[in-house]
Each structure stands twice: as C-alpha cells, then as structure tokens.
Amino acid sequence: MKSVVIYKSKSGYTKKYAEWLAQAISADLLEAENFKKEQFGSYDNVIYGGGIYAVGINGIKLIKNNLPALKGKKVIVFATGLSPAREDVIKVVKDKNFTAEELESIGFFYMRGGFDLGKLKVMEGLAMKLMRHILKRKDPAAMSEDDRGMLEAFEHPVDFTDRNTIEPILEVLRE
C-alpha cells in the first residue's frame, strides 16, 4: 500500500505531525503547494494535514475538491490547533469544514499544535495581534480558559505537539 502525507503548515506544528506520520508509515511527504491532483492516482492512502485558522483547515480544498478522485482510497485528514482536543472543539472544526456526506469517506483527527507569534508572516501576525487586542478588552470574568491560554501564548510561545497523538491515525491505516 503506497501512502502520501500532504500538509500545509504556516508555523511548523502541522509539518511536525506530517513528518512523524510519513516516517512511521514510510510514506511520501509533500507540501500541499508541491502536490498536483493528478498524483492522487499513485497512492492507496492519502493523509492530509492542515493548521486551523478561524476554524477552517488550511488548504482543505485540495481534498474536498478531489473527493471523486479519492474514491476507493483511504483518506485521512488531520487538523492542528491551539485549543485542547475536546469533543466540543472537534465538533466545531468538523462542522465548519465538512458535510456529513464528506465525513463518510474521510477519517478526521484533531491534534493539538502550538502558537508562536514570531513564526507567523506579517499579515497573519497582524491578524493575531488584533485577536490579542480583542481578548484583552474582554471582561476577565467572561474569559474562557481557552481565552486566557491564548493570551498567555502571546507572551510565551507554546508547543503542545506530541508524537503519541498520531497513534490513532496509524491504527486506522493498519486496518
């Protein structure tokens, strides 16, 4: 079974998971920008990873727009984000990015990434600084634990990546 891990990473956390997965299953590893849809035919297993930005999975259209070409293949999508891997977080990400029909042919996984403002490009950094400004203006009593964690991450970069969290994906690939 030939496998490919395709990823789109802005700050390196998704790339780290993609590298771990590719290494664990001896898969080809390609950045989404370097992958052409014609290449899907060469693989039995297609794994795609993207970071979460405003609840959207970065670059997910590569998979969504090519689902007919992926029929009969094992398709796995993983998303990385700063929020803890809670059911409510996972549900929001799934609902924002996929229809129920799409999820019938896609295995979806969420893994916690990290945040480092210094790794972002200028425009993304500005957007995040605006988010920080909005969070700072929030009534402290109304702040969620996630809000407080995000504010803390602006001051002290965090990396929650954990190689063990790829194990459920590996289990699905072994089936």
How many Cβ atoms are within 10 Å of 73's Cβ, its own excluded? Answer: 16
Residues 90 and 80: their CA atoms lie apart, in Å, by: 10
Model confidence band, residue 82 (pLDDT cutoffs 50, 70, 90): confident
Looking at the fold, whether 29 and 50 belong to one and the same domain comes out as yes
Looking at the fold, whether 140 and 93 belong to one and the same domain comes out as no
Mean pLDDT, range 151-160, rounded to an integer: 84
Model confidence band, residue 149 (pLDDT cutoffs 50, 70, 90): confident
How many structural domains compose the chain? 2
Looking at the fold, whether 69 and 111 belong to one and the same domain comes out as yes
Looking at the fold, whether 137 and 167 belong to one and the same domain comes out as no
**What does the mean pLDDT of the chain come to?**
91
What DSSP string describes 75-87?
EEEEEEESS---H
Structural domain boundaries, residue 16: 3-115+159-174
Looking at the fold, whether 95 and 168 belong to one and the same domain comes out as yes
Element (H, E) at 153: helix 145-155
The CATH number of the domain where 73 resides is what?
Answer: 3.40.50.360
Looking at the fold, whether 24 and 56 belong to one and the same domain comes out as yes
Interval 97-148: pLDDT, tens: 999 999 999 999 999 999 887 877 787 777 878 888 888 888 989 888 888 8
